[in-house]
Amino acid sequence: MGRKLENALGILNGTIGDYLARTGNGLATPMTFVHDGAPMAVRRDVLARAYPDATSRVVVLLHGIMCTETVWTLPEGGDYGAFLARDFGLTPLYIRYNSGLAIADNGVAFADLLESLINEWPVPVEEILLLGFSMGGLVARSACHVASGERYHWLPRVRRAIYVGTPHLGAPLERAGRTLTKVLRAVGDPYARLVAEIGDLRSLGMKDLGDANLRHEDRAPGRAALALRDARHPVPLLPSIQHYLVAGSLAVHPQLAALFGDALVPLASGTNGLRASSGTLALPPGHVKVLADMGHMTLAHHPHVYAQIREWCEASR
């Protein structure tokens, strides 16, 4: 019941979480670390009790939109965090957050949370590995962007970031939805306008996915209002971090695979443009992996994805 309730709240937060937060509704999920399914305060005594074997290297896992940390759980048990603990001695820390908030707001909250973590963690933190699924990867990028411009002490401790099914160049489904609501509004019929208004109730977080807006200023009015193409992202991946990307592909035919990707994120977006333009490679090809026959949600809990994560972690030890 508890897990189902939290999952239902995750969906609700992803859909209208910004409204819930704005109106002070108790259903809004604050960003917290979660241990054994319960929110955990970032206090040294609490952390020491929850993690008696805390290590100096941690992996922080961020779920995607409309999810909770349970999205990481493999059908046969375990998750990427637990496997990284087993194989590399990293202490896994799971984040739960309101995925309906603007990505920029969650980025700031995440940056603050990590700052508290390194101050309160029972042992000195030497390394933070960021692991984000879908929107979680964008929240991690947004937090890194915030931390690079201000005095945050955790950023130098991030050597590696792994993005799983993250729409680095945005999600065309959201852009299509945005176009549809614009068209419905333009029709002038009151019923069509009502449908458009209902469509526009979707959260800021969801809208941010359209163009992968990491900052509030990226959401400039009129920008790409009716565009279905990827926006070129104005916030680059930080060069001080080694970035690794996993993208999924459902189709076998290369062109279909590139177009539809994992059904929600096209390959060009999931690979940060690697597949779109080989002349502007942002990352070494070895840092990008496309896994065939893999739907979007499956990417968060699949042994093949972990095998790739493990390979990268071994190579960059």
Partner 1 sequence: MSTVNKRWRGVAKLVTDAVEHGSRAVERIQKETAQRPFGILEMIPGVAVPARVVHVLHDVTVSGVHGAIRLVTRVVDGGVGVAFDLAESESHEDGSDPRRGEPTQSSS
Question: In angstroms, what is the C-alpha Rg of the chain?
Answer: 19
Using the minimum distance from each CB to partner 1, give the nearer residue, 28 or 139. Answer: 28
Least separation in angstroms between residue 33's CB and partner 1 is 11
Least distance between partner 1 and beta carbon 17 (Å):
12
Write down the least CB distance from residue 110 to partner 1, Å.
18
Provide the binding-site residues for partner 1, judged by CB under 8 A: 1-3, 5-6, 9, 20, 23, 25-28, 34, 36-38, 68-70, 72-73, 79, 94, 190-191, 194, 197
In the complex, the smallest distance separating the C-beta of residue 215 from partner 1, rounded to whole angstroms, is 29
Nearer to partner 1, 36 or 217 (CB): 36
CB 298 → partner 1: shortest distance, Å? Answer: 17
Q: Which is nearer to partner 1, 132 or 172 (CB)?
A: 132
Task: Give whichever of 12 and 138 is closer to partner 1, judged by the CB atom.
Answer: 12
Please identify, using beta-carbon distances, which residue of 5 and 252 lies nearer to partner 1.
5
